Amino acid sequence: MSEQIDIVEAEEVSTQGKNFKNDMNNLQGIKAMERIIEEGKRQIQTIHAYKTAIGKLIQVRGDADNKKELYHQNLKILSPNIQVMRDLFQFNDIMKQHVVSFVNGFCKSNGLPGPEDCRALGDVLDVVIVLDYLKTWQAGLNNDFAMYRRAIQHVKKDYNMSEDETLRHFLVNPHIINKGLKSALSDDAEGFEKVLSFMAMDCHNKHEKEDKNEKFIRIIVCCIFLMDSLISDPTKFNNMKKNMKFSKVNKLLETNPKVTLYNELPLNVPNYMKSCPQFTKNADCDKGGCIIL
């Protein structure tokens, strides 16, 4: 009986993860964004402080008589870490759905976010860029998951490797949080470039006129990454130009090549912008230097 309980625990999200999912079923708009920010900050702290369980695991010989029991003990050791991974996976899925819905509200009404909308969406995008980096940076996640898959095959008779394939894909692919949000917006939020270009310019203005907070640089970088591929479309490019001065945003990024990402971890802005080739090519478009037009 205890063996089954341990396996079930390893397959479920934590109590905090369940509470987050339940809360999000009843929230929308800014309230939903604020709950995502709250849970996102918890996720950031958890992933940054993550400790691999590899050193605690029992070495299991292939000819061991009690091999199943030893793998069962390893599964119990790994269980809390697997919950961390499932919480992160669930957070990413829920975050995408609600961000697309939030942005779509402005796209469908042909409106732009107000001050409180910008604050909430900006803080969510800040969580996204930090968490995306931390997931890739934290190699212990993949190592522990590989050991979990090895252990559970020996403990759970009906375990099928395909059961965890979606989670494995999420863990092994770098920058899947950013890329997943980019894909979701492209597929389901027609005109989202209007919202994000407005957001990027709003963050530029806040940084220059009000507060030199490095958070605004991170949000700008995230916005540009999310809409970069659309710059090659003349119509969407014009939509962005109506809301954002490319040259001003580019100058701000050039004068802040390295900012704090989280705690001791830096964000190398030029390196990140290598994944935004269309913006780089057209950064001087306000001055007549457009490539695509």
pLDDT the model gives residue 293: 32
Report d(CA 279, CA 75) in Å as an integer.
Answer: 47
Question: Any alpha helices (H) in the chain, and if so which ranges?
Answer: 2-11, 15-24, 29-48, 67-109, 115-137, 140-155, 165-172, 176-188, 192-209, 214-227, 234-243, 246-254, 269-273, 277-281
Give 184's contacts (C-beta < 8 A, 6+ positions apart): 96, 97, 99, 100
Integer CA distances (angstroms), 172 to 73, 136, 139, 229, 244, in order: 25, 8, 9, 24, 35
Residue of 291, 134, 123, 115 lying closest to 223 (CA atoms) = 123
Cα torsion angle, 108, 102, 111, 273, sign: negative
pLDDT-based confidence at 3, cuts 50/70/90?
very low
- The set of residues, in sequence order, having a beta carbon less than 8 Å from that of 287 and lying 6+ positions away, is 247
- Is 166 strand, coil or helix? helix
Q: 64-105, pLDDT tens digit by residue?
A: 889 999 999 999 999 999 999 999 999 999 999 999 999 999
Does residue 210 carry a pLDDT above 90? no
Q: What is the average per-residue pLDDT within 281-291?
A: 64
pLDDT of residue 286: 57
Amino acid at 88: L
User: pLDDT value at position 283?
Assistant: 84
Contact at 8 Å (CB) between 92 and 47?
A: no
Q: Residue 212: pLDDT band by 50, 70, 90 thresholds?
A: confident
Distances (CA, A) of 130 to 175, 197, 210, 233, 239: 10, 20, 23, 28, 27
pLDDT tens, residue by residue, 26-41:
999 999 999 999 999 9
Q: Across the chain, what does the average pLDDT equal?
A: 92
Identify the band that residue 12 occupies on the pLDDT scale cut at 50, 70 and 90: confident
Q: Is 252 helix (H, G, I), strand (E, B) or coil?
A: helix
- Is the per-residue pLDDT at 11 higher than 80? no
Other residues' Cβ atoms within 10 Å of the Cβ of residue 202:
24
pLDDT (tens digit per residue) in 108-146: 999 999 999 999 999 999 999 999 999 999 999 999 999
